[in-house]
Amino acid sequence: MLIVMKFGGSSVADAECVRHVAEIITDCYEEGNSVVAVVSAQGDTTDDLIAKANEINPKASKREMDMLESAGEQMSAALLAMAIEARRFPVVALLGWQAGFMTDSNYGSARIKNIDTSRVREELGKNKIVIVAGFQGINKYDDITTLGRGGSDTSAVALAASLHADRCRFYKDVDGILTADPRKVPGARKLDEITYDEMLELATLGAQVLNNRAVEMAKKYSVELEIISTITRKPGTIVKEVISMEKMLIRGVTKDTDVASISIIALPDTPGIAFKIFSKLASKNINIDIILQSIGRNSTKDIIFTCKKEYAELAMETLRSSIKELADLKIECDMSGAKVSVVGAGMESHPGAAAMMFEALYEENVNIRMIATSEIKISVLLDAADADKAVSAIHKKFFPEEN
Amino acid sequence: MLIVMKFGGSSVADAECVRHVAEIITDCYEEGNSVVAVVSAQGDTTDDLIAKANEINPKASKREMDMLESAGEQMSAALLAMAIEARRFPVVALLGWQAGFMTDSNYGSARIKNIDTSRVREELGKNKIVIVAGFQGINKYDDITTLGRGGSDTSAVALAASLHADRCRFYKDVDGILTADPRKVPGARKLDEITYDEMLELATLGAQVLNNRAVEMAKKYSVELEIISTITRKPGTIVKEVISMEKMLIRGVTKDTDVASISIIALPDTPGIAFKIFSKLASKNINIDIILQSIGRNSTKDIIFTCKKEYAELAMETLRSSIKELADLKIECDMSGAKVSVVGAGMESHPGAAAMMFEALYEENVNIRMIATSEIKISVLLDAADADKAVSAIHKKFFPEEN
């Protein structure tokens, strides 16, 4: 098999970690596989480099920031190759440009345009283990670019897609994708399989294990992913398009406390007002999550939406200053809520899922402020103080045998 | 003027140093010059990276060591560019391969084969200040190579030669090349000019200011060098082929205490024995400095040579074990000596220089063990305990007005 592996910064934080990762790689190679390993910068390297830059110039150009930051993966890739050499296996480390990562010129958050895999294939053809510095590429000017935070995940998936790898394996400090946060919910269990869409919903809900861009790319190119523990190395969670056995109703229960809900009360019921509101917010790059519209009184309506707390102030200001229809209206912002969600493709064909969720909340006497549903997700907004209790109750309802 | 500047690791050790160097560069640019600045890794970065590698694999391949170490100059070049951006000047940082440094494949001590200066010229054409990461290049396989310790000096001279720069300026923490060590000799003075050959002799004698390879390359391509102080920024020492005013007899007085002298006593006077001895030593990569041969007694001769102390043991062992003619002879090693030398092209036409030197030593009652002369240098081996006294006395003899 051709296996692309990805190791994050904490997996290669110090010499001992690097040696452990080298062992994982050479064990896989000894089993007869071709192995390409994409690696992030060690531990806090990237943050340290950014701090150094800020001390010299807090407004440094993104081009020079990319040249600086890409040194982090350069160092970790070389060190990992050295650890593999110490185990007496043939290995070569390649930088983003050497591994053929061509990107656009959006320094700091470049998109991969294509990967010329000839060098990687050539080295694999010589039976070498190939280490690739993640997070980086070059643009048409031969200048170094970086893919933005979490970009090494994208590097790994893109390389796996270009090489038609059999598997793209992400080594993490967790056993796989869990049905809930195990620190909060004692019955949390590991999922053996999950679809790309479920993975995306879980990621946006706060159970961030893989970068979303990477999951979207894996879905587009049908790259089979595996989330696996660096420590136990036991079978983890496979992420793929269609799951063979569909007996589980939901995949997981998550909470997100970074929620501001903004209410516009008694809005006149004129056409186009919703468009005006949300296009203005979009023009300020404010990401909106849930939107609810309710019939109000006397030909008016209420609009409520949620966003991350950091955007709340800018959103309030935008609404007040740039939309004349809202000038005299009551606009409220509330930071006391939390969003709890259940995710699972199985819900589509099981209309009872929402009822089960609400029942669990009712039994715990948790008040629901808002409800939003999609085909594979049900989210409720509730008091942040109730969030942990709610997650446990819902999890117990869907996975009763574990409690 | 087109000026290539070179800044060493201590000149860019921290944020404050980097800002100071940025000011030197932009001041030169504001005077109407085109400026290319070659920079080394910050302070102890290279040593730190080597220590990290040694922790993981003390026998790491040189290819991966080069990938690791080259990250040092990558970071300092980017940071220096950011400091220049903060001063609101147009700037771009280039890595070795981006600046066109093509080398052979001797990882760790690669030789520059040629420099494709098109990118550097293009950026200069856009009126940009160009920062170049020193010490590094790429080979024909597109793999990163480093030029070895002191390689950034060579990068700067090679780039100056390829660009036909008007001047290659080395910023150091000294005012220029001095006639003696100012901590030992109060009358030590700065030289305004010096020839390449004198510079080379001074460097090998221990007054190491510039890497010898860099000086040799400057001589070959007639690149005019200037050694100048990062702190005072006053006119320093110009290094060039022919010096206009030739009034000074010698350029400087130096001492070297890292001297082991090895004597082979009463060697049979058979042809080829000297060849055998020094070819065996050369095959062990032992660099020999002075060699003296004297007629001994009864058709025998004595051979005495000096080398660095670290090679002494290996040299003794090589002589004893691999040359059968020496098996029964007395071979002695002495570590108590020091070499004091005067250097100056003016000596060629002033045969009195040696006499002046010996007179100074006689007046101070310093015993001379060995004498060796070249066209522009006279060296004597004497007791290490006498070395500082000898240097002061000789300096006083040649530069009387300063004392």
Ordered by where they begin, the domains of chain B are 2-172 (3.40.1160.10), 260-334 (3.30.70.260)
User: What sign results for the dihedral spanned by CA atoms A252, A255, A259, A261?
Assistant: positive
- State yes or no: pLDDT of B351 exceeds 70: no
Any idea which of A237-241, A291-295, B152-156, B289-293 has the lowest mean pLDDT? A291-295
Give, as one character, the DSSP assignment of residue A166: S
Cα B44 to chain centroid, rounded: 19
pLDDT, tens digit, 9 for 90 and up, residues B192-209: 888 888 888 776 555 567
pLDDT reading at B237 higher than 70: yes
Q: Give the residues across from A333 on adjacent strands.
A: A262
Render B358-378 in DSSP notation, one character per residue. HHHHHHTTPPEEEEEEETTEE
Mean pLDDT of chain A: 89
| Contact criterion met (CB < 8 Å) for A56 and B119 | no
Which 3 state secondary structure label does DSSP give B47?
helix
A308-320: burial string, b at 16+ Cβ within 10 Å, e else:
eeebbeebeebbe
Q: How far apart are CA B101 and CA B111, in angstroms?
A: 10
Using CA atoms, how far residue A310 sits from A281, B140, B305, B329, in Å, is: 14, 50, 75, 85
Q: Give yes or no for B16 touching A (CB within 8 A).
A: no
pLDDT per position as a tens digit, A216-271:
899 999 999 999 999 888 889 999 887 654 455 678 898 989 999 999 888 887 77
Is the Cβ pair B78, A68 closer than 8 Å? yes
Of the listed ranges A35-49, A71-85, A302-316, B113-127, the one predicted with least confidence: A302-316
In this complex, the residue of B53, B71, B119 whose CB is nearest that of residue A82 is B53
- At A348, the pLDDT band (50, 70, 90 cuts) reads low
User: Which value does ipTM take for this structure?
Assistant: 0.76
- Nearest residue of A to residue B72 by CA position? A71
In this prediction, residue B403 carries a pLDDT of 41
Which of B57, B59, B120 has the most A C-beta neighbours within 10 Å, making it the best mutation to test the interface with A? B57
The answer to whether the Cβ–Cβ distance between A56 and B83 falls below 8 Å is yes
B10-24, B72-86, B170-184: lowest mean pLDDT where?
A: B170-184
A261/A316 Cα distance (integer angstroms)? 11
Q: In chain A, what residues touch B56 (CB-CB under 8 Å)?
A: 15, 18-19, 79, 82-83, 86
Q: Is A63 on the interface with B (CB under 8 A)?
A: yes
B23 reaches A (C-beta below 8 A): no
